[in-house]
Amino acid sequence: MMSTKVSQWQRIALLAAALSASVVSTAWGGVPGLYQMHLDASIWQYTGEPCAGSSCLGWVELDNNPITAFIAAGGGKLYQVHTDGTIWSYTGPPCSGSSCPGWVQLDDNPITQSIGVGGAVLYQTHSDGSLWLYTNTPCNGNSCPGWLRLDQKPITVIFGAGGGFLYERHLDGTFWQYTGPPCYGNSCPGWLKLDDNPSTLAIFAAGAHGVYQQHETGSIWQYTGTPCTGNSCPGWVELDNNPETSEIFAGGDLYEQHLDHSIWQYTGTPCNGNSCPGWMMLDDNPSTLAVVPGPNTVYQQHTDGSIWQYTGTPCNSNGCGGWRMLDDNPATQFTVADGMIF
């Protein structure tokens, strides 16, 4: 039976990459931008062929390196971080036997903590709280100059990117948007405060249609475009107020997962007082381990390692049949879809 315990590296990936969901083009000539990492740290790409019964042949191996810690994807590109902090980008080709040459090194920094992708832009955080943007210059020998520092705050808890914007959340619950310029020496002035609410969790999602945050009560809020003025931060509208909400995810659409593991999609109607009718149930499977949205669809992974894609039919009186299986491998550790890890 697959263990569902999340390691420190996996938790970093969940907090950083999963919150940096973005809507991007499908990778490599129409093949769905869906990837998985196995318990042996091997990396696999979905080729577009769903399971036929118990046969799930639609996967090709991209790497088999046992020191891979986690993966992230976006903008038609796939990245991995090794346990030594190095960052690598997939350039192809896929593995041929035990040879997997399709990777180029982007950084070699032992204090790398996490990476995230917003559109076609790659970011990383260091253990000192700094936040960096990749400038598309790979390593040359021991020199890895392709990074630009955007912030240097040890109180930064998590960051995320989507819709062309970069965000971060601080320990005090404040929420910030990057507006530029990058850091100059010890000065990093390029940030605009969007919220100042101590009840904001370290759970937010950035997608095609905006950025969302979750409060301790389970309520979900969308940013409307008005930043803070002094202590006033009015730029948020409530989308849900359900204490059963456990997590939110954004890509082409916004999704929430409840404590019972059910999956819900936001349909566009915000709350009106205590009424929040803008949600549609897509699944109610207690075996759901995690949820990830792509640009035009949403996937889920079960506790048995199987991966499923939503086919467009929400739950009704006959059940929640709108899912098809893409893989049934108990060795699956976590899965990535164009900009989100779960």
The rounded distance, in Å, linking the Cα atoms of 196 and 107 is 34
How many CA atoms does the CB half-sphere of 189 hold within 13 Å?
A: 4
The rounded distance, in Å, linking the Cα atoms of 108 and 141 is 10
Average pLDDT along the chain:
87
Tokens of residue 23, six digits = 């809507």
Most confident of 6-10, 248-252, 258-262: 258-262
Q: Which of 72-76, 241-245, 254-258 has the lowest mean pLDDT?
A: 72-76
Q: What share of the chain is helix, strand, coil (3-state, %, to 5)?
A: 5, 50, 45
Say if residue 181's pLDDT is above 60. yes
Can you give the pLDDT at residue 130? 93
Mean pLDDT of 204-219: 88
The rounded distance, in Å, linking the Cα atoms of 246 and 259 is 5
Can you give the pLDDT at residue 260? 96
Can you give the pLDDT at residue 11? 38
The rounded distance, in Å, linking the Cα atoms of 248 and 203 is 7
Mean pLDDT of 97-106: 97
Place of tokens 């019972």: 260
Report DSSP letters for 162-201, one per residue: ETTEEEEEETTSEEEEE-S---BTTB---EEEEEE-TTEE
| CA end-to-end distance (rounded Å), the chain | 19
H helical segments located in 120-256 = none
Mean pLDDT of 203-215: 86
Report DSSP letters for 41-68, one per residue: --EEEE-S---BTTB---EEEEE--TTE
Can you give the pLDDT at residue 22? 33
3-state DSSP assignment of residue 12: helix
8-17 pLDDT per residue, tens: 333 334 333 3
More confident residue, 43 or 293: 43
- Look up residue 99 and give its DSSP letter: B
Say if residue 199's pLDDT is above 60. yes
- pTM to 2 decimal places: 0.87
The b/e string for 320-332 (b: 16+ C-beta within 10 A; e otherwise) is bebbebbbbbeeb
Place of tokens 């164009």: 338
What percent of the chain shows pLDDT beyond 90?
Answer: 70
Can you give the pLDDT at residue 32? 58
Can you give the pLDDT at residue 338? 74
Can you give the pLDDT at residue 14? 37
Mean pLDDT of 172-185: 93
Place of tokens 């894609």: 309
51-68 pLDDT per residue, tens: 999 999 999 999 999 999
Say if residue 25's pLDDT is above 60. no
Say if residue 197's pLDDT is above 50. yes
Can you give the pLDDT at residue 252? 85
Whether 266 and 232 have beta carbons less than 8 Å apart is answered as no
